[in-house]
Amino acid sequence: MTFPVVGMVGGGQLARMTHEAGIPLGIRFKLLSDTPQDSAAQVVGDVVVGDYRDLDTLRAFARGCDVITFDHEHVPTEHLRALEADGIPVRPGPEALVHAQDKGVMRARLDAIGVPCPRHRIVTDPADVAAFAAEGDGFPVVLKTVRGGYDGKGVWVVDSAEEAAEPFRAGVPVLAEEKVDFVRELAANVVRSPHGQAVAYPVVESQQVNGVCDTVIAPAPGLDADLALRAEEMALNIAKELGVVGHLAVELFQTRDGRILVNELAMRPHNSGHWTMDGAITSQFANHVRAVLDLPLGDPRPRAPWTVMVNVLGGDYPDMYSAYLHCMARDPQLKIHMYGKDVKPGRKVGHVNTYGDDLDDVLERARHAAGYLRGTITE
Amino acid sequence: MTFPVVGMVGGGQLARMTHEAGIPLGIRFKLLSDTPQDSAAQVVGDVVVGDYRDLDTLRAFARGCDVITFDHEHVPTEHLRALEADGIPVRPGPEALVHAQDKGVMRARLDAIGVPCPRHRIVTDPADVAAFAAEGDGFPVVLKTVRGGYDGKGVWVVDSAEEAAEPFRAGVPVLAEEKVDFVRELAANVVRSPHGQAVAYPVVESQQVNGVCDTVIAPAPGLDADLALRAEEMALNIAKELGVVGHLAVELFQTRDGRILVNELAMRPHNSGHWTMDGAITSQFANHVRAVLDLPLGDPRPRAPWTVMVNVLGGDYPDMYSAYLHCMARDPQLKIHMYGKDVKPGRKVGHVNTYGDDLDDVLERARHAAGYLRGTITE
């Protein structure tokens, strides 16, 4: 047998769902997980428990893998370079991944290749934040530590220089950005393989609640076809220019005046692509696996007119399994995806997908199920 | 967390695909496998290597499982009764499963509940086979050992009493059946839960080559709606009368004179239901898991007008992975399902699914891919 071994660093739900998508391909899947209880570690056969920040651990794990890929973007760039020097393909590679790890590097590179972004620059202290505000339309200003933020963490919206002290306390460079007057958030998901084949999923609308993705609608309702095409082309261009291999999510602002600006990049399967598991011919996870193995990519087109994903966040109600009875009986077409994670308030512990011809119906079904699982809907 | 543990006995591809279908439900999946290399054992986290024929092994495995289910029908009935006596739900239970284990018991029971079967009776020796032939339309006669046969093994078609010696050598009772003059084979797949909810998948056409399933077309082309309904009702009735929990496949002969006769029963996900993985709203594997957990069942309806499954058998060409390049590039909608099994001539090592609006196109794509993977098509 010559089936390859894919080494996945990180044991979260993205690794779990990538494993699920890899099973039909007959590939071997090897996991480096922080603990044996991590989401993916519960369901993968070949698990190494260890710390990805330790180069020796990473090197030992990578031995016997045909390619290394990631559940998250936290592996130090120098470690990835060391693996590459050892002859292990790392996908996406460190030169691409740094753009998803460091928002300062990302903004500089997008500027260089002419991709529209919110007005931005690195700021040094609260007084510099005030100067940045004065250079544009004033406060509010968005501040982000260039490394380590996600799901609203590491991001502050400040109304004055006085409020701007906190972001600088970590000692990490801070990026200031204009607060974009957006009508909604979109995401353009693309997948690219080492020899340069790429596919684009339809552009989706992503609705955030408290900085965390809540609902994704595929395709984005009412999106102008030209704008959709422009967003797909932009994402494909970023993937090509940055040398991305695997899945790239480009989070976008759609502005009131009809522009699209890049908010964030993620180089791995992404929450805005979870709808593809039940809504697309080939899921983002299956295509990520195909890309990192340099296999021809699968068809990214949708299977239904509308697909909706709603995240299931932890609430006050820990027993989500008993909620299955209601949810499954109410909607026999419902797709539940739970991650095997303990319920903690606000934690992403799963998502649901629904699809169909009528967007209102599809939305209602997904929201009801997610709310019932969380415990915010009880009837 | 109150998510249940499903114990799966047997490490074949059915267990592998059941695990894949169980991951999104967040359930715990525990596997009893003959070896660590078995198809399912490669991809499951919690694997016990042991012999299911040993009651102590089975009992130790079952401890900590909320329910036991099966990849195959070979677990001795008395072992299953012992597990039930220990208080472990066994689904399907021994009283149902015996009908899939013993063709003599199956035929007697189907006769008793009025389900049409080929003419049949237990025969004692070659002379009795000649007598059985004389009671009907003469030779050829089909002989089957009542236990242990599958995929054409344990089945003989004999043209004379002289040819009928072989089946009696195993010392297992032998069932004689008329050789049915069928126009094609069909399969009616249903799933039933402990509290009696049941769903029926569309009736499919199953094409065999050398006694092994080769191609499944869903739904069966040109099947009269009344006949289809009758087949679904028959399968639902069998599931109810036999107390089946989980997936039941009823393999059928469609006769030249417009009748449907039951050929075989299988109480587990079945090759004739593999198309559901990509072609139905809820796959047979997902519904089997839901049934054994007594969860509400998922919608069994198809997602496309036509879905075709073709088995990938081992051929002379061991390196199936390198064939992915051609198959995936030629057909970006192709769904490959490989089982991680070593290639041996004639062995089922995977299957492909295709779906779409045009049956000829869907069939051609599936047959090309399966043939290319096997090595019988090289361009």
Interval A171-211: pLDDT, tens: 889 999 999 999 999 999 999 999 999 999 999 999 999 88
d(Cα B237, Cα A317) in Å, to the nearest integer?
40
CATH number at residue B244: 3.30.470.20
Tell me what the mean pLDDT of segment A288-311 comes to: 98
Q: Do A20 and B25 touch (CB under 8 A)?
A: no
Q: What is the distance in angstroms between the Cα of A227 and the nearest Cα belonging to chain B?
A: 26
Q: What is the distance in angstroms between the Cα of B275 and the nearest Cα belonging to chain A?
A: 13
φ/ψ (deg, to 5) at B176: -100, 140
Residue B112 domain-assigned (yes or no): no
Q: Are residues A283 and A358 in the same domain?
A: yes
ipTM above 0.90, yes or no: yes
B337 interaction partners in chain A (CB closer than 8 Å): 24
Q: Do B42 and A45 touch (CB under 8 A)?
A: yes
Residue B272 domain-assigned (yes or no): yes
- For residue B149, what pLDDT is reported? 66
At B80, list the tokens.
């299953």
Residue B340 domain-assigned (yes or no): yes
Residue of B nearest to A29 (CA): B43
Q: What is the distance in angstroms between the Cα of B134 and the nearest Cα belonging to chain A?
A: 50
Q: How far is CA A180 from the centre of its chain?
A: 21
Q: Are residues B168 and B186 in the same domain?
A: no
Burial class (CB in 10 A: 0-12, 13-18, 19+), B196: exposed
Tens digit of pLDDT per residue, chain B (379 long)? Answer: 589 999 999 999 999 999 999 999 999 999 999 999 999 999 999 999 999 999 999 999 999 999 999 999 999 999 999 999 999 999 999 999 999 999 999 999 999 999 999 999 999 999 999 999 999 999 999 999 998 766 667 899 999 999 999 999 988 899 999 999 999 999 999 999 999 999 999 999 999 998 899 999 999 999 999 999 999 999 999 999 999 999 999 999 999 999 999 999 999 999 999 999 999 999 999 999 999 999 999 999 999 999 999 999 998 888 899 999 999 999 999 999 999 999 999 999 999 999 999 999 999 999 999 999 999 988 7
Q: Which of A1, A23, A281 minimises the CB distance to B333?
A: A281
Of A90, A111, A136, the domain-final residue: A90
- For residue B211, what pLDDT is reported? 83
- For residue A150, what pLDDT is reported? 62
d(Cα A238, Cα A73) in Å, to the nearest integer?
17
* Number of domains chain B contains: 3
Q: Are residues A78 and A195 in the same domain?
A: no
Q: Do A324 and B295 touch (CB under 8 A)?
A: yes
Q: Are residues A206 and A311 in the same domain?
A: yes
d(Cα B180, Cα B256) in Å, to the nearest integer?
9
Which domain, by its residues, includes B148? 119-178
d(Cα A320, Cα A303) in Å, to the nearest integer?
29
Q: Which of A26, A299, A336 minimises the CB distance to B350?
A: A26
Residue B71 domain-assigned (yes or no): yes
A333 interaction partners in chain B (CB closer than 8 Å): 281-282, 298-299
What is the radius of gyration, based on Cα positions, of chain B? 20
Q: Are residues A210 and A331 in the same domain?
A: yes
d(Cα B46, Cα B66) in Å, to the nearest integer?
14
- For residue B151, what pLDDT is reported? 62
Residue of B nearest to A343 (CA): B1
A144 is an annotated ligand-binding site residue: yes
Residue B214 domain-assigned (yes or no): yes
Please check whether residue A155 is in contact with residue A213, taking contact to mean a CB–CB distance below 8 angstroms: no
A95 is an annotated ligand-binding site residue: no
- Quick count: other Cβ atoms within 10 Å of Cβ A85? 8
Please identify which residue in the block is written with the tokens 């999510």: A249
CATH number at residue A57: 3.40.50.20
Shortest CA distance to B40 belongs to which of B19, B14, B11, B73? B11
Q: Are residues A163 and A249 in the same domain?
A: no
Q: Are residues A243 and A195 in the same domain?
A: yes
Residue A152 has pLDDT above 80, yes or no: no
d(Cα B99, Cα B115) in Å, to the nearest integer?
14
Q: What is the distance in angstroms between the Cα of A267 and the nearest Cα belonging to chain B?
A: 22
Is the dihedral angle over the CA atoms A311, A317, A323, A324 positive or is it negative? positive
Q: Are residues B336 and B221 in the same domain?
A: yes
Residue B350 domain-assigned (yes or no): yes
Q: Are residues B261 and B342 in the same domain?
A: yes
CATH number at residue A130: 3.30.1490.20
φ/ψ (deg, to 5) at A207: -105, 125
Residue B111 domain-assigned (yes or no): no
Of B128, B150, B178, the domain-final residue: B178
Q: Are residues A301 and A315 in the same domain?
A: yes
Residue A323 domain-assigned (yes or no): yes
d(Cα A304, Cα B283) in Å, to the nearest integer?
17
Q: Are residues B28 and B155 in the same domain?
A: no
Q: Are residues A292 and A232 in the same domain?
A: yes
Residue of B nearest to A355 (CA): B281
Residue-wise pLDDT for A3-33, tens only, equals 999 999 999 999 999 999 999 999 999 999 9
Crossing angle for the helix pair A225-242 and A103-112, to the nearest 10 degrees? 110
Instruction: Return the exposure string of B197-221: e unless at least 16 CB atoms fall within 10 Å of the residue's CB, then b.
Output: ebbbbbbbbbeeeeebbbbbbbbbe
Q: Considering chain A, what is the average pLDDT of its residues?
A: 96
d(Cα B173, Cα B177) in Å, to the nearest integer?
13
